[in-house]
Amino acid sequence: MLNNSEIEFSKKLIKGKIAEVIFEQMIRDEKKYTVIPFGYEHTMPMLAQYQQLVEVKHIIKNISEAPDFALISEDKSKLFLVEVKYQKELNLNDLKGYAEKLLKRWDCPWLFVATPKGFYCGMSDWIIKEDMMNELSENWVTKERQNEYLKLLNEFEK
């Protein structure tokens, strides 16, 4: 039988996966970017079974801190590495912590946050410097499409 902390962990994990799927589908539907799942769970599932090996642990740690997605613009002139998070309410302190962690290993990583009130996205260094996060730009996804996916996200909040 699961205890309360295990249930809470599972809930957070499931909401995080929902946020990732929402992000991926919303970006794909917009057809402005090629979406490449990039995170550890997508690129290195086979390595997970060898975590006990000392020489693999360092490699796995590096890969485990990879952003969730790589986006390549239609004209192939831009590449965005994006970490996806779910938050019940936008929490800048937590986001700044995620941003700092990303910046230790990656150049120009972005954070996307799904909340029941809306979607937010920004460059990690900007989030730290400005102590704020903007709503997801219509340059990435139209407001109409964002609203459709926000309704879908909120179906899982019930």
DSSP tag of 117 = T
Sequence-ordered list of residues with C-beta below 8 angstroms from that of 32, at least 6 positions apart, any chain: 73, 74, 140
Q: How much is the pLDDT for 9?
A: 81
Average pLDDT over residues 124-136: 95
Position of tokens 């205890």?
3
Q: Is this model's pTM higher than 0.85 or not?
A: yes
Q: Are 19 and 153 in contact (CB under 8 A)?
A: yes
Task: Identify the pLDDT of residue 43.
Answer: 62
Q: How many CA atoms lie within 13 A of 31 on its CB side?
A: 0
Asked if residue 67 lies in contact with residue 83, where contact means CB atoms within 8 angstroms, the answer is yes
Query: Does 64 have pLDDT greater than 80?
Result: no
- For residues 43 and 142, the model is more confident at 142
pLDDT in tens, 85-128: 999 999 999 999 999 999 998 999 999 999 999 999 999 999 99
Token look-up 């957070």 returns: 12
Backbone angles phi, psi at 18, to 5 degrees: -60, -45
| Structural domain boundaries in the chain | 4-36+67-155
Q: Which CATH number, 3.40.50, 3.40.640, 3.40.1350, 3.30.2000, labels domain 4-36+67-155?
A: 3.40.1350
pLDDT at residue 50 above 70?
no
Q: Report the range of poorest mean pLDDT among 3-12, 24-33, 55-64, 78-87.
A: 55-64
Q: Report strand pairing: 33-37 vs 118-123.
A: unpaired
- Pair 120, 113: CB distance under 8 Å: yes
